[in-house]
Amino acid sequence: MHFLLRVALLHFGILAIQSEHTAFTINKVVLKAEPNEIWNGNNLTLTCEAEISKVPGTDPLQPSFVFYKDDVQIFNTTSLNDEAHYIISPARFSHWGEYSCAVYVNRKNRKSEELPVRIRGVSAPQISVSKKEVKEGEKVTVRCEASEEKAPIIFKIFKVNRNDKQEKTRPAHNTNYVDVDFLVEEGDKNLFFECTAEVSSTFAKETSEASERLLVTVSEPFSTPSIQVYPSTNITEGDRLTVYCTVLASSIFKESDIEILIQKDKTILTNQKHDTSASYSKDLAVVADEGNYTCKAESGLASKTSSVYIHVTELFPRPALQVGEEISEGDALSFSCSVSGFKAENLTFYLEKINSTMTTRMKTGGKYKKTGLEQDRGLYVCKVTIRNITKKSEPRMVTVYAPVSTPVLSPATKMQEVVMGQTLILMCKSERGTPPITYTLFRGTEQLYNITRKTKGESAEFKLNVSTLSHLSGYRCKGNNKNKLSSPFSTALNFTVIAQIQKVILETIPSSGEVENGRDLTLMCRIIDGSWPVTFTFYRKDKSDHVHQEIINKSTSIWHQRTFDKEQEGSYYCTASNRASRIHSNILDIKVILASWKKAVIAVFVVLMAVGVAAAVTWWYLQKKRKAKQITVEMSGPVTVTNSHNEKPLPGQNNETESHCHAGENTYARIEGCLDAT
């Protein structure tokens, strides 16, 4: 939709004058390429043809043609005809792709099918150099450029020297050229440079023909060095050796820039600057001087070399030293030195101890003998001189073994006590004796362990697990080295066992854990197994300090607390410890109860209170009953009766009434009458 709008706007002026009422249709659109096979550098013509049907006699439609490469618009035009052309001149590899065209008339359009366009070949690149005349050691910058092609391009640049061809490959990602440096090396004369370009796409890859070949002339700043050896390249030990090295500098080159080096293998023997010659001499050549000698001339990056191999014939072989390498102190230490092919009686030998000032002239025949001492240990060589050539033998190591003294066996803790089940560490050491010394530990006649010590004065450490009582006595050790004398045994070592405490039990008297207030409390802390002495400590759980402690040679500790009261009530425990362990007991809760006499007093008081209460109740009851009887008696006594005129009743009347009340009649009327009478 967007590209339709863009085309419509582009050709708005043309479309505006065309009649929208003209009847037409676009039947098809075809894109063609000429020629069919396109080579790089040729012209390429793309023709877009439209087949349009319309009403006869109408005006030309002037269609718009748009050309695309890989779906990207590259060209557009209008035409009065039904076709349009797009010319690519010249065609390059970068024009390789899928082409198509579209025709737009008023609001109608149609697009052709895609036409693949393939460009064969790549144009040859152009080559240029920074210098056409150079000297050895200088650099030449070569540029290879494919001006008609588009990046990315891979360039290959070639340096051709006679039959040797050096290649360097460089990619150009954003440009169509590269610059490459080449070093002009020793031996380069007339150099030729050329290059090729390689371009590629998703579909194909093409490589160009080689560029033209450019000539670069090389000037030699100095000649290849000349090397001479005196007296010759084959000499004998003791001869004087001289090596000469010379070069010839070019007339256009400054001698002050030249440095000449003479080296043997990788070692520089001498060097000379600002000159065209150098020399190396040695008054007395030896076999070690044989090897490859190189003369090297340098100036900047320019370098030239010449080499020669010098053979040195041995005047006499290296002497051989014979000696007993391991002897016992006090034995004879004998040295013998000889040279193969020579009579020892005609030569003078010297014996040297390395890293020492000792140098001794050996006796006739190259012999030397002495009594061996421990301090004679060391490296020895013998040497001999013939025609001012001195040679030394291979070093020989001599060890004189001093006998091992009686060792001392001791426990690492310095205490002759051992905890059953734990590790016992014993140290065995001899003050004298040449290492290495092998220490052996014995228990009785049983050999237990061997340990070798290579440092003088170093102890052997033996670790033993003591699990039974049989492991507590009879330990001895001895040390041996290569001395022929055997070392005596150490003094036997015995140990005292310390058994660990297995369990601690806290008990109380009384066993119920209840103590009458003011009575004594007895706590017993008892161990099961364990060596004496034992430290017993009693604690109250809520206190940090102990309440009692003692160290005894017993298995039970008893603590008496007199007049135990309520404030001392609580939880108690004890600990037991010896030199092997410390164990915590069980916890006991101690409660304080009332004393027996207090209980009796309380009982008597309760009984008395009960009797008192009973007496009071009885008394109250009797009093109540007495009052009730008194009321009855009073009711039966004489009563004065008056009439309404307050006159006394007649004697007979009064007695009758009294007799009725005294009779105790229960009728309500009678009681009421008696009450009224009163």
Interval 116-166: pLDDT, tens: 888 887 888 999 999 888 887 788 999 999 988 888 899 999 999 877 889
pLDDT of residue 581: 86
Q: Which fold has domain 126-219?
A: Immunoglobulin-like (2.60.40)
The string of DSSP letters for 276-310 reads SEEEEEESS--GGG-EEEEEEEEETTEEEEEEEEE
Q: How large a percentage of the chain has pLDDT more than 90? A: 44
pTM across the whole model: 0.45
- Name the pLDDT band for 668 (thresholds 50, 70, 90): very low
Interval 365-394: pLDDT, tens: 899 999 999 999 999 999 999 888 899 999
pLDDT of residue 595: 58
Taking only the tens place, the pLDDT of each residue in 55-107 is 887 777 889 999 999 899 999 999 888 899 999 988 887 787 889 999 999 88
The residue length of the chain stands at: 678
Please tell me the predicted confidence (pLDDT) of residue 601.
Answer: 63
Q: How confident is the model at residue 621 (pLDDT cuts 50, 70, 90)?
A: confident
Q: Which residue has the higher pLDDT, 529 or 353?
A: 353
Query: Is the predicted pLDDT of residue 660 greater than 70, yes or no?
Result: no
pLDDT of residue 570: 87
Residue by residue, DSSP assigns 203-227 as S-EEEPPP-PPEEEEEE-SBPPPEE
d(CA 485, CA 329): 10
Of 351-360, 406-415, 616-625, give the lowest mean pLDDT range.
616-625
Averaged confidence pLDDT in the chain: 83
Classified by CATH at the fold level, domain 408-498 comes out as Immunoglobulin-like (2.60.40)
pLDDT bucket at 657, cuts 50 / 70 / 90:
very low
| Fold equal for 126-219 and 503-593 | yes
Q: What confidence tens digit (pLDDT) does each residue in 592-603 have? A: 876 555 666 666
Residue 642 pLDDT greater than 90, yes or no: no
Decide if pLDDT at 479 tops 90: yes
Task: Compute the distance between CA of residue 75 and CA of residue 68 in angstroms, rounded to an integer.
Answer: 7
Q: Specify the pLDDT at position 544.
A: 83
State residue 513's pLDDT score. 76
Buried b vs exposed e over 580-602: b needs ≥16 C-beta within 10 Å?
A: bbebebeebebebeeeeeeeeee
Output the pLDDT for position 234. 95
Q: What's the CATH number of domain 503-593, 2.40.50.40, 2.60.40.10, 1.10.8.50, 3.30.450.20?
A: 2.60.40.10
CATH number of 226-310: 2.60.40.10
For residue 23, list its beta bridge partners: none
| DSSP calls for 45-79 | EEEEEEEEEE-TTPPP---EEEEEETTEEEEEEE-
CATH code assigned to 24-120: 2.60.40.10
The mean per-residue pLDDT over the stretch 333-340 comes to 94
DSSP string, 67-112: EEETTEEEEEEE-SSSEEEEEESS--GGG-EEEEEEEEETTEEEEP
Q: What is the pLDDT of residues 174-217, one digit of tens each?
A: 999 999 999 888 778 789 999 999 988 776 788 888 999 999 98
**pLDDT value at position 672?**
38
pLDDT at position 637, please?
A: 54
433 secondary structure, DSSP code: -
* CATH 2.60.40.10 describes domain 320-398: yes
Pairing between β-strand 38-39 and β-strand 119-120 as defined by DSSP bridges: parallel
What share of the chain has pLDDT > 70, as a percent?
87
Domain ranges of the chain: 24-120, 126-219, 226-310, 320-398, 408-498, 503-593
Pairing of strands 302-313, 234-236: parallel
Contact 2, 8 (CB under 8 A): no
* CB atoms near residue 368 (< 10 Å): 19
Q: What is residue 232's DSSP assignment?
A: -
